[in-house]
Amino acid sequence: MTFVDNKIIGQSKPATELKKMIGLIANSNSPVIINGPTGSGKELVAEAIHEESRRKGSFVALNCAAIPSELMEAEIFGFEKGAFTGALKTTVGKFEQANRGTLFLDEIGDMPFGLQTKLLRVLENSVISRVGSSKEIKLDVRIICATHKNLEKLVENNDFREDLLFRLNVFPIKVPSLKQRTEDIPDLVEHFLKIKSRTDARKSPNFDGTAIDALKKYDWPGNVREVRNVIERALIFFPNQKINGEDVEKYLISVSSGIIDRAEEQREIWSEFDEIGTIDHDDNINSIRSQPPTAEDFSTWFDTNNSVDLRRLLQDIEIVFIEAALDRNGGNTSEAAKDLKLLRTTLIEKIKKYGL
């Protein structure tokens, strides 16, 4: 797998074309402007360009919208000791940190107009001066910018320098919205589940076909970033469970308060299940487990319950038995399969299905 494949997930036509464009321009030192909707992965594209270029320096990112305008110059160019109140020591800026590497300026449309002039000078001469110093520092930095704004419109409104736009816009890249590449959603779901499973002790849920269809039909206003959020919800709400289309629409895309009732229902089901197969010795002694429940024990279920999520209950029971058999046999699938009266290949398929 290439650097690009690690960053841009999916095999749809828009994703494939984006990867090809990254490969074409990576080895150039010319500036790049990445345009795309919020959450579409513009910084990932910038990282992919840097990694594919194999520049020896670091990838340094700065969000122009996140820094107050009065501090941005010092943040980008660095400053000398005593240059202003609070400048207690000489500090290098983002440009110097990115020497021989790549400087990614996110939300370039929010850069103050006066600072745009200084950025233009760097692009033309490859030199910077720290705040409070007249000394020029020669650098080798590739500039990649990103924005979700229309820079041409900003130029018309005199909010962005036209000459800077021309200088930056050597390689314009348009990142597609997720709505334009919904066929990549299964790959994105798998990708984020793998990432989250490394740091989350909960076992990953399983999205069935109806769940994937529901995800594909959704508009995804938050783009790829929203997919990550949905996966995080799925891990919390449905650990080690199968997720269907109704679950996606009711509890993942829009978080309904009904998820609380859903969780309570599952706990009640298991509570009732624990009670089946126990006997009472007398009023002062708690019920204790006797023989495991039989199928007939469930015939009285509706005497005390109004409903049951049969599909999920049976799935949960199957998971419990498989885990118990594997634990009993030290993870040996052949012996566990014998205890469960299953073919070994069938057991392995179920283990993969449930992510055990």
Q: Tens digits of per-residue pLDDT, 207-240? A: 999 999 999 999 999 999 999 999 998 988 888 8
Looking at the fold, whether 31 and 159 belong to one and the same domain comes out as yes
Q: What range defines the domain where residue 264 resides? A: 257-308
How many CB atoms neighbour CB 228 within 10 A? 16
Looking at the fold, whether 228 and 324 belong to one and the same domain comes out as no
Looking at the fold, whether 97 and 21 belong to one and the same domain comes out as yes
Report which of 31, 29, 18, 25 is spatially closest to residue 49, judged by C-alpha positions.
25
| Residues 36-42, mean pLDDT to the nearest whole number | 94
Looking at the fold, whether 194 and 239 belong to one and the same domain comes out as yes
Domains in the chain, number: 4
C-alpha distances (whole Å) from 229 to each of 39, 46, 135, 327 are: 11, 22, 47, 33
Domain endpoint, select from 176, 197, 231? 176
| Residues 20-28, mean pLDDT to the nearest whole number | 94
| CATH code of residue 243 | 1.10.8.60
Domain endpoint, select from 130, 154, 176? 176
Residue 336 has pLDDT above 80, yes or no: yes
C-alpha distances (whole Å) from 55 to each of 136, 143, 150 are: 23, 12, 30
Query: Is the pTM here over 0.75, yes or no?
Result: no
Looking at the fold, whether 118 and 238 belong to one and the same domain comes out as no
Domain endpoint, select from 215, 233, 255? 255
| CATH code of residue 342 | 1.10.10.60
Looking at the fold, whether 322 and 286 belong to one and the same domain comes out as no
Q: Do residues 194 and 229 make contact, with C-beta atoms less than 8 angstroms apart?
A: no
| Residues 19-31, mean pLDDT to the nearest whole number | 94
pLDDT attached to residue 260: 53
CA 274 to chain centre: 38
More confident residue, 346 or 18: 18
Looking at the fold, whether 241 and 273 belong to one and the same domain comes out as no
Q: Tens digits of per-residue pLDDT, 298-322? A: 777 777 777 777 777 788 888 888 8
pLDDT attached to residue 285: 42
Looking at the fold, whether 13 and 103 belong to one and the same domain comes out as yes
Q: Tens digits of per-residue pLDDT, 88-134? A: 898 999 999 999 999 999 999 999 999 999 999 999 999 999 998 88
β strands within 229-287, DSSP E: 242-243, 278-279
C-alpha distances (whole Å) from 11 to each of 5, 26, 93, 205, 229 are: 9, 20, 38, 23, 22
Q: Tens digits of per-residue pLDDT, 140-176? A: 999 999 999 999 999 999 999 999 999 999 999 999 9
Looking at the fold, whether 241 and 271 belong to one and the same domain comes out as no
Looking at the fold, whether 13 and 127 belong to one and the same domain comes out as yes
Looking at the fold, whether 222 and 300 belong to one and the same domain comes out as no
**Most confidently modeled range among 2-11, 179-188, 340-349:** 179-188
pLDDT attached to residue 287: 44
Residue 277 has pLDDT above 70, yes or no: no
| CATH code of residue 40 | 3.40.50.300
Structure tokens at 273: 């299940």
Looking at the fold, whether 130 and 237 belong to one and the same domain comes out as no
